[in-house]
């Protein structure tokens, strides 16, 4: 096989229909859009419009509330912390900046929250913004301490 012998399988590449190119094309004059009306014109976007009837998205009940100033924490599991300790990327004293510098977490956001998924076998001293109760118990069970500090934004406000 040579480069000049390469070609698609028969029927693989179908030419696109060119509309509005005369009566002989099969899609001439109105180009398959019918006669007159809003949908025959160009530049019309009527998604969600139901001809004056109350649209579905307005008829359905609205539920819940999205807090505009809610805190977003970066989440890290104990199993991942142990993996990074075993790899030598983290030491016995772990702070939020060390978690970011080691590459375990991309960015701090409003703080770092530790969850208890996975096993921690090394005794470490963790200082983070938040932690679940089970994570605190797991760290203390391994012989370490987990200190929960106030979020950085709250400390700056005081």
* Residue 122, domain member (yes or no): yes
CATH of the domain at 122: 3.100.10.10
* Residue 138, domain member (yes or no): yes
Q: What is the pLDDT of residue 92?
A: 85
* Residue 121, domain member (yes or no): yes
**For residues 74-83, average pLDDT:** 92
Structure tokens at 25: 């094309």
Closest among 85, 128, 124 to 104, alpha carbons compared = 85
Q: Is the pLDDT of residue 12 over 90?
A: yes
For the whole model, what pTM was predicted?
A: 0.56
> Structural domain tally of the chain?
1
Contact, 141 vs 122, CB < 8 A? no
* Residue 19, domain member (yes or no): no
Q: What is the pLDDT of residue 115?
A: 93
Q: Is the pLDDT of residue 90 over 90?
A: no
Q: Is the pLDDT of residue 154 over 60?
A: no
Q: Is the pLDDT of residue 158 over 60?
A: no
* Residue 32, domain member (yes or no): no
* Residue 124, domain member (yes or no): yes
* Residue 112, domain member (yes or no): yes
119 is in which domain, residue-wise? Answer: 74-150
* Residue 131, domain member (yes or no): yes
Contact, 84 vs 70, CB < 8 A? no
């Amino acid at each position: 096989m040579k480069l000049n012998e390469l070609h698609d399988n028969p029927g693989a590449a179908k030419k696109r229909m060119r509309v509005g190119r005369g009566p002989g094309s099969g899609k001439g004059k109105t180009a398959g859009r019918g006669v007159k009306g809003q949908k025959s014109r160009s530049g019309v976007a009527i998604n969600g419009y139901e001809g004056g009837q109350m649209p579905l998205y307005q008829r359905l009940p609205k539920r819940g509330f999205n807090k505009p100033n809610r805190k977003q924490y970066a989440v890290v599991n104990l199993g991942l912390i142990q993996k990074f300790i075993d790899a030598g990327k983290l030491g016995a004293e772990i702070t939020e900046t060390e978690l970011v510098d080691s590459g375990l977490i991309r960015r701090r956001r409003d703080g770092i929250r530790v969850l208890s998924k996975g096993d921690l076998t090394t005794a470490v001293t963790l200082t983070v913004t938040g932690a679940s109760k089970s994570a605190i118990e797991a760290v203390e069970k391994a012989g370490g301490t987990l200190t929960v500090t106030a979020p950085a934004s709250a400390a700056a406000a005081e």
